[in-house]
Homo-oligomer: A and B are copies of this chain.
Amino acid sequence: MNEDRNCQWRIAARPSGNVTREDFVYEEQPIPDIGPGEFLLRTLYLGIRPVMRMYMQGIEIAGEKPLAIGDVIHGRGVAQVMRSKHRDFAAGDVVQGQLGWQTWKASRGTEAERFRKLEYSGLSYSLGAGVLGMNGFSAYTGLVHCGYPLAGDVAVVSAAAGGVGSTVVQIARILGCRVIGIAGGTRKCALLTDLGCEATIDYKNEDIDARLSELAPGGIDVYFDNVGGTTLETCMEHLAHHARVVLCGSISEYMLDEPFGLKNYTNLRMVNASMTGFFVYNFEHLFDEATEHLAKWIKSDELRPVEDVVEGFENMPDALARLYDGDNVGVQVCRVRPDPGDPGDTPLRGVSPK
């Protein structure tokens, strides 16, 4: 990465199957100037998210403009304000918001970018690209405000070792649920046990249907769905009376050519269950509430952010490909530059995957 230039990753081609290095092109531009009403951002961390492949395919999603070939890829993260002619942001502020896959950005602070200031609270700013960013806000608002978990409920979480899932698992446990985490592989399942899952299902080596019958004979009260597809369909066979299914993500479907058809949606009927779609930006009024709870739980060691930090902007494309391979654990974050609030080289409280 060239510190004197604005380094960027742009789309070279629409991905087919998983993303490959050939789908990206690296470019360097001059560091932008700012005009009246603008501020200059220096990227610290960039989050790496499953939705990014959809951005690259030109699908309009999450209110972001559809990307053309050659565009800088959308990506949210944490940045420091270096200079400002904007009344709401001052040099030195650290913010989270829409930066794009680039190392500098001149911004007017538009509504679409959704920049929020991060208060330094002794926690690593990397968390602003993860559990104290949209990832954690998704986990909190989706589980609490769509799933209505009650103490004693059986809560099942898929992609439970992932960025959103690992936080959902812990919030559910804090709220008194019996948590069953679904993930692929023994390493991920061991992490889930560490995070407080009462039981885990290793979908690569176990039959989800049989295990759910065994672990939740009375059915699932809350199913937090990060994967869609056949995992969702299987969980739909195990719904308890008044079960709540929260649709958060569908990573298993992103690479299908034909949309997945959910054949047992009518299972919602006999048990008066509901399936609620969830999109984090519709819950912006709850982000302060989410931040307050999440930061409190992190400080009291009840909630451990699980971060998978990739070092170096040059590794963004490979880091994204790993998401779809199912290799990553926790929230995937790229550290573009050292954290100004961090005394050392590692995040203050992140749990590194083993």
Residue ranges of A at the interface with B (Cβ–Cβ < 8 Å): 61, 146, 228, 241, 247-248, 250, 253, 259-279, 282-283
Contacts and interface: CB of A to CB of B under 8 A. Distances in A.
Assembly of this chain: how many copies? 2
A247 B270 contact: no
Given A259-B264, A275-B274, A269 B247 contact: yes
B274 A263 contact: no
Contacts of A278: 269, 272
A248 B271 CA distance: 12
A277 B282 contact: no
Given A241-B282, A261-B260, A262-B261, A271 B267 contact: no
23 contacts: A146-B272, A241-B282, A247-B269, A253-B266, A259-B263, A259-B264, A260-B261, A261-B261, A262-B263, A267-B277, A268-B275, A268-B276, A269-B277, A269-B278, A269-B279, A270-B279, A271-B277, A271-B279, A271-B282, A272-B276, A272-B283, A274-B275, A274-B277
A248 B270 CA distance: 10
A260 B266 CA distance: 10
Contact of A275 (B250, B253, B265, B282): B265
Contacts of A269: 247-248, 277-279
A238 to B, nearest CB: 14
Contacts of A270: 61, 277, 279
A273 B146 CA distance: 10
A270 B64 CA distance: 12
Contacts of A261: 260-263
A42 B212 CA distance: 47
A134 to B, nearest CB: 14
A241 B277 CA distance: 10
B282 A273 contact: no
B273 A274 contact: no
